[in-house]
């Protein structure tokens, strides 16, 4: 298949990642590395496939970066959830039987959940008219899950544009709305372990408050808010902020608020006292921040944000790029000690890995 998948080698590839992360953290005195393994198959909750048309036949396709012009047919995707694999077959059967559904179909995106929900997005290189809406509604009924049709400057949501995921974190169940085209953790099982680890590392913090930057849909901050008096999350994406606010309500967390602002803007407003209307909307004097959680993009933190996080006694740093994380925290040695570290195998059979560290002021 056009994707790395070798379940018989899972433990050896995990051990190799553990060795790499151990070496990256070699400059720190630290406790033993916690390793959170993935299921060896059916762990991925979302996937995107190009649709390749070859005469009377169409099929799912992926591409090798080394030869990006040659489509590689995908008939099954064992790294993805069983529900996603089932829907791959059902959707392709519909595409092949319905000319309106098939015509200039360019891509199909699947978003599934552990709790049995799913969302199907069909993307076209043509405008979608009434005929497509009629057929889309028909197939939505047949497949049993909501369908979205996309084309240039068009987005038809036939019923809803989100799934509801249920995650078990630190012995409690949480519900999360996850929206189409919004970031979600791809490996739900490892996500549960990752957030549970962060919850365990911050127990007994009810006298202080939490700030989370890059909070997304509240994946970390909602469970973590149980450990703190108050919590504030910051996020720049409108869709993620909407989702986070809905998830706060779903999980009845009244001590958590979300501010829509970038970490860079927060740093400028708080550290450099630059004017910010959104920053001023929150009564920052009412917070007694003790802990900050950052889960930045692969590039890591900018210099202003690195300065900002040094205002906190405890730093929870989760990263999809351990190299940028290690570079960011290098300047904190001497002022902070590492009290916990973990490897989260979000992306089996690839070189990518997720890591987390807890730093506490000496």
pLDDT tens column, 259-307: 888 777 777 767 666 656 666 667 777 899 999 999 999 999 988 889 8
Residue 214 in marked binding region: yes
The region, left, alpha or beta by phi > 0 then psi within -120 to 50, assigned to residue 103 is beta
Among the residue ranges 110-124, 218-232, 296-310, the one predicted with the least confidence is 296-310
Please indicate, yes or no, whether residues 217 and 337 belong to a single structural domain of this protein.
yes
Does 335 reside within a domain? yes
* Residue in 111, 142, 94, 123 with CA at minimum distance from that of residue 46: 111
The CA-CA-CA angle for residues 44, 231, 337, to 5°, reads 80
Decide if 298 is inside a domain: yes
Q: Are residues 201 and 127 in the same domain?
A: no
Q: What whole-number distance in Å separates Cα of residue 151 and Cα of residue 129?
A: 11
Same domain membership, residue 344 and residue 291: yes
Nearest-angstrom CA–CA distance, 296 and 50: 29
Q: Is the pLDDT of residue 334 over 80?
A: yes
36, 215, 320, 341: the catalytic one is 320
210, part of any domain: yes
Is the pTM of the predicted complex or chain greater than 0.75?
yes
Q: Is residue 181 part of a domain?
A: no
- Residue 155 domain-assigned? yes
Angle (CA) 123-128-132 rounded to 5° is 95
Q: Report the share of the chain in percent with pLDDT over 90.
A: 85
Which member of 323, 354, 360, 362 is catalytic? Answer: 354
- Same domain for 356 and 288: yes
pLDDT for 277 equals 65
Report the chain's mean pLDDT, rounded to a whole number. Answer: 94
Tell whether residue 179 is among the known ligand binding residues: no
Task: Please tell me whether 235 is known to bind a ligand.
Answer: yes
Average pLDDT over residues 309-326: 97
How much of the chain is in helix, strand and coil states, percent to nearest 5? 35, 35, 35
Domain assignment present for 174: no
Domain that holds residue 79: 46-163
What is the tally of structural domains in the chain?
A: 2
Asked whether residue 85 is domain-assigned, the answer is: yes
Quickly list H helices, 187-262: 188-201, 221-224, 238-250
| Tokens at 185, concatenated | 């953790």
State the Cα–Cα distance between residues 46 and 119, nearest whole angstrom: 9
Q: Kindly state whether residues 142 and 211 are assigned to the same domain.
A: no
Is residue 287 marked as binding?
Answer: no
- CATH code, domain carrying 97: 2.40.50.1070
User: Could you give the strand order of the β-sheet that contains 118-124, starting from the edge strand earlier in sequence?
Assistant: 67-74, 57-64, 46-54, 105-112, 118-124, 147-151, 154-157
Active-site annotation holds for 320: yes
* Residue-level pLDDT at 162: 98
What is the SS3 assignment for 70? strand
Lowest mean pLDDT among 91-95, 100-104, 306-310: 306-310
Residues 6+ apart with CB under 8 A from 330: 27
* Backbone φ/ψ region at 153: left (φ over 0), alpha (ψ -120 to 50), beta: left
CATH number of 37's domain: 3.40.50.150
Distance CA 10, CA 348 (A): 7
Task: For residue 354, indicate whether it is catalytic.
Answer: yes
Residue 173 domain-assigned (yes or no):
no
CA gyration radius, the chain: 22
Q: Cα(7)–Cα(235) distance, rounded to whole angstroms?
A: 36
Q: What percent of the chain has pLDDT over 70?
A: 96
Q: Please compute the mean of the pLDDT values over residues 239-261 and round it to a whole number.
A: 95
């Amino acid at each position: 298949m056009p994707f790395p998948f070798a379940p018989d080698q899972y433990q050896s590839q995990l051990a190799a990642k553990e060795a790499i992360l151990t070496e990256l953290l070699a400059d720190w005195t630290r406790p033993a590395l916690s390793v959170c393994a993935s299921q060896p198959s059916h762990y991925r909750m979302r996937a995107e496939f190009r649709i390749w048309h070859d005469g009377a036949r169409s099929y799912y396709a992926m591409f090798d970066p080394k030869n990006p012009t040659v489509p590689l047919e995908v008939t099954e995707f064992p790294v993805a959830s069983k529900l996603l694999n089932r829907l791959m077959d059902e959707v392709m059967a519909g595409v092949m039987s319905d000319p309106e559904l098939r015509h200039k179909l360019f891509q199909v995106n699947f978003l599934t959940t552990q709790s049995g929900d799913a969302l199907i997005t069909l993307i076209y290189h043509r405008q979608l008219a009434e005929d497509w809406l009629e057929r889309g509604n028909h197939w939505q009924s047949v497949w049993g899950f909501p369908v979205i049709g996309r084309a240039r400057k068009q987005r038809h949501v036939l019923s809803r544009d989100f799934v509801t995921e249920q995650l078990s974190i630190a012995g409690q169940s949480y519900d999360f709305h996850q929206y189409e085209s919004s970031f979600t953790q791809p490996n739900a099982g490892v996500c549960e372990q990752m957030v549970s680890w962060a919850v365990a590392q911050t127990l007994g913090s009810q006298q202080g408050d939490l700030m989370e930057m890059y909070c997304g849909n509240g994946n970390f901050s909602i469970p973590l808010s149980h450990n703190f008096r108050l919590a504030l999350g910051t996020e720049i994406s409108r869709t993620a902020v909407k989702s986070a606010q809905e998830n706060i309500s779903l999980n009845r967390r009244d001590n958590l608020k979300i501010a829509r602002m970038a970490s860079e803007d927060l740093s400028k407003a708080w550290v450099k006292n630059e004017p910010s209307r959104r920053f001023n909307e929150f009564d920052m004097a009412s917070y007694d921040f003790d802990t900050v959680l950052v889960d930045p993009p692969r590039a890591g933190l900018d210099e202003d944000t690195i300065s900002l996080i040094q205002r906190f006694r405890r730093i929870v740093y989760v990263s999809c790029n351990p190299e940028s994380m290690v570079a960011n925290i290098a300047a904190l040695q001497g002022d902070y000690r590492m009290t916990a570290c973990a490897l989260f195998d979000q992306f089996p059979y690839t070189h990518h890995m997720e890591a987390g560290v807890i730093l506490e002021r000496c």
